[in-house]
Amino acid sequence: MNTYRGLEEYLRIGFVQSVVDCEYAWCKPRPTINMKKWVKIKAWQDIKKDFAI
């Protein structure tokens, strides 16, 4: 421990490198867009709009 700021020796970072799936992210795979899929996602977004931040 450092007395100056009480810093720790190390910061442990955990990576969760998930494979983003376009089922709920609009933009993958970029730049090709499957409009059918987009319609499905848009509908889902509308339903969930109330939950959005």
Partner 1 sequence: MGEDKGLARYKKGFCNLSGDREKPHIVVLPELTVSNCYIKHLKELSKVINSVVIAGLDFQVNAGNKVSNKAVVVIPNNWTNTQRSTRTSCIYFGKTHFSNEELELFKKLNTHYKPKDKYSHLPDHVNYIIDAGPFGNIGVAICSDFFDIERFVIYKGKIHHMIVISNNMDTNSYYFLAEAIARLVFCNVVICNTGYYGDSIAFSPYREPFKRIIYRHQGQQLFSSQVVSLPVVSLDEAQRNPTSPPSDNGKSIFKSAPPGYIRHI
Instruction: Show Cβ contacts of residue 26 under 8 Å, excluding neighbours closer than 6 positions.
Output: 33, 38, 41
Residue 18 binds to partner 1 (criterion: CB under 8 A): yes
| Distance from C-alpha of 25 to C-alpha of 44, rounded to nearest angstrom | 11
Mark residues 24-43: x for contact with partner 1 by CB under 8 A, - for none: xxxxxxxx-x-x--x-----
Shortest reach from residue 46's CB to partner 1, in Å: 9
Sequence letter at residue 39: V
Q: Which residues bind partner 1 (CB under 8 A)?
A: 1-2, 4-21, 23-31, 33, 35, 38, 45, 48-49, 51-53
